[in-house]
């Protein structure tokens, strides 16, 4: 069975973009692949965090993994810091990453361009750690949204570099980016990605948003004056974004189908249909989430996940350290 690995960095609450672009696919792939899904808490601290809020977000993230349908019986769910090999291989990968490569990473470049002050060294070298996350498990596939594709491509380059230098160490992974919903946009500014760090709360639907609030966000989403439900991300970014959301939440319903259903009807009708779908899905997730946080499932899932993941990761780290010549032979 091919192996698949991915993670989410809960620097804030998980949102609909995370769900549509990534999490819903981890769940889907469970039948077909050996899925490893982790909570990237080392990546979280690359930007300043309030410790109490971070703890809550980590717990909520695991609870949401489970509530969205990740099944600890079939998949391995773990916290990144429970597997020490991530930080260790992360350092080794960092020593094999060129400054030029890190300088080309658009996420870091964007933050620099915004003039953000006091960016950390961890944020800069984050792609090397992400490479370690993936390579430790010899993952064949990495399901991610579009914004993370560049990091997986760097991972491929690093894997090939190390394989050429030290002999075959790593499986070269492939990014799996969904055809629909790989980049869900902000509802208040559809030219920007929906993101945890969205300045206005209106643009981002959180998985734990109150349903009335979520409905209101959809109903007040920015659209255009074209007065037709048509898929054209250039000309109608707001409407096209809502179509992507509707399509993804309805088993990738074709855009032509949606256009036909709403032909000659107003944006109000269309937005109501999107809001209904979003609220239906959030309601399902939130009901399950409430059951999960009350029980003992989180602790159990993370304990068995850490044990299973550590075995694989520790063995790979050992193999790498040996190949690089970092261990003494007696
Ligand atoms: P993160 O936490 O920013 O995002 C988690 C996943 O959600 C996807 N995503 C989106 N997809 C569609 N539309 C959006 N608006 C949207 N926003 C986010 C992301 O592409 C991602 O798949 N570096 C990673 C976490 C990570 C990781 C890894 C992922 C660390 N190590 C190893 C895969 C493999 C991150 O910050 O994702």
How close is the Cα of 327 to the center of ligand 1, in Å? 34
How close is the Cα of 13 to the center of ligand 1, in Å? 13
How close is the Cα of 262 to the center of ligand 1, in Å? 32
How close is the Cα of 142 to the center of ligand 1, in Å? 10
Distance from C-alpha of 100 to C-alpha of 54, rounded to nearest angstrom: 32
Q: pLDDT at position 201, please?
A: 85
How close is the Cα of 8 to the center of ligand 1, in Å? 5
Q: Which residues of the chain, if any, have pLDDT below 70?
A: 199
Angle at 283 between CA 281 and CA 287, to 5 degrees: 125
In the annotation, is 111 catalytic? yes
Q: pLDDT at position 329, please?
A: 86
Q: pLDDT at position 107, please?
A: 87
Q: pLDDT at position 199, please?
A: 66
- Buried b / exposed e along 44-78 (16+ C-beta atoms within 10 A): bbbbebeeeebeebbbbbbbbbbbbbbebeebbbb
Q: Is 175 near ligand 1, meaning CB less than 6 Å away?
A: no
Q: Is 7 near ligand 1, meaning CB less than 6 Å away?
A: yes
Which pTM was predicted?
0.97
Q: Give the sheet arrangement for strand 76-79, strand by strand.
A: 76-79, 34-39, 3-8, 141-143, 174-176
In the annotation, is 114 catalytic? no
In the annotation, is 196 catalytic? yes
- Please answer whether residues 281 and 215 qualify as being in contact, where contact means their C-beta atoms are separated by less than 8 angstroms: no
Mutation to probe ligand 1, out of 9, 10, 19, 190 (largest number of atoms < 8 A from CB): 9
- Per the residue annotation, which of 168, 179, 193, 216 is the catalytic one? 193
- Per the residue annotation, which of 9, 109, 192, 196 is the catalytic one? 196
The values of phi and psi at residue 99, to 5°, are -55, -40
Mutation to probe ligand 1, out of 18, 23, 240 (largest number of atoms < 8 A from CB): 18
The pair of structure tokens assigned to 107 is 């996420």
pLDDT digits (tens, 9 = 90+) for 16-56: 999 999 999 999 999 999 999 999 999 999 999 999 999 99
Q: pLDDT at position 310, please?
A: 98
Q: Is 238 near ligand 1, meaning CB less than 6 Å away?
A: no
User: 137: helix, coil or strand?
Assistant: coil
Of 299, 283, 307, the C-alpha closest to 62 is 299
Of 199, 213, 230, 251, the C-alpha closest to 24 is 251
Strand ranges (DSSP E) for 165-309? 174-176
Q: pLDDT at position 196, please?
A: 82
Q: Are strands 174-176 and 34-39 parallel, antiparallel or unpaired?
A: unpaired
pLDDT digits (tens, 9 = 90+) for 117-143: 899 999 999 999 999 999 999 999 999
């Amino acid at each position: 069975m091919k192996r698949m690995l991915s993670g989410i960095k809960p620097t804030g609450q998980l949102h609909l973009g995370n769900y549509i672009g990534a999490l819903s696919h981890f769940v889907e792939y469970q039948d077909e692949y050996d899925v490893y899904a982790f909570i990237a808490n080392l990546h979280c601290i690359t930007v300043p965090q309030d410790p109490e809020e971070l703890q809550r977000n980590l717990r909520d993230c695991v609870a949401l993994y489970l509530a969205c349908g990740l099944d600890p019986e079939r998949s391995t769910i773990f916290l990144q810091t429970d597997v020490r090999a991530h930080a260790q291989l992360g350092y080794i990968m960092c020593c094999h990453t060129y400054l030029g490569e890190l300088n080309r990473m658009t996420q870091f470049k964007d933050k620099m361009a915004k003039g953000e002050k006091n960016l950390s060294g961890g944020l800069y070298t984050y792609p090397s750690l992400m490479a370690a996350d993936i390579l430790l498990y010899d993952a064949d596939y990495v399901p991610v949204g579009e914004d993370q594709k560049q990091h997986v491509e760097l991972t491929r380059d690093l894997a090939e570099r190390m394989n050429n230098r030290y002999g075959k160490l790593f499986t070269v992974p492939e990014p799996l980016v969904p055809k629909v919903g790989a980049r869900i946009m902000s509802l208040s500014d559809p030219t920007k990605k929906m993101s945890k760090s969205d300045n206005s709360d209106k643009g981002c639907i959180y998985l734990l948003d109150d349903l009335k609030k979520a409905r209101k966000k959809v109903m007040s989403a920015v659209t255009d004056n074209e007065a037709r439900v048509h898929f054209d991300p250039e000309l109608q970014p707001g409407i096209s974004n809502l179509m992507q959301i509707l399509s993804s939440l309805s088993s990738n319903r074709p855009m032509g189908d949606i256009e036909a259903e709403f032909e000659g009807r107003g944006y109000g009708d269309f937005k109501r249909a999107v809001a209904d779908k979003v609220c239906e899905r959030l309601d399902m997730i939130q009901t399950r989430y409430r059951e999960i946080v009350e029980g003992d499932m989180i602790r159990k899932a993370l304990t068995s996940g850490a044990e299973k993941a550590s075995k694989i990761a520790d063995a790979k780290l050992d193999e790498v350290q040996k190949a690089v010549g970092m261990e003494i032979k007696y």
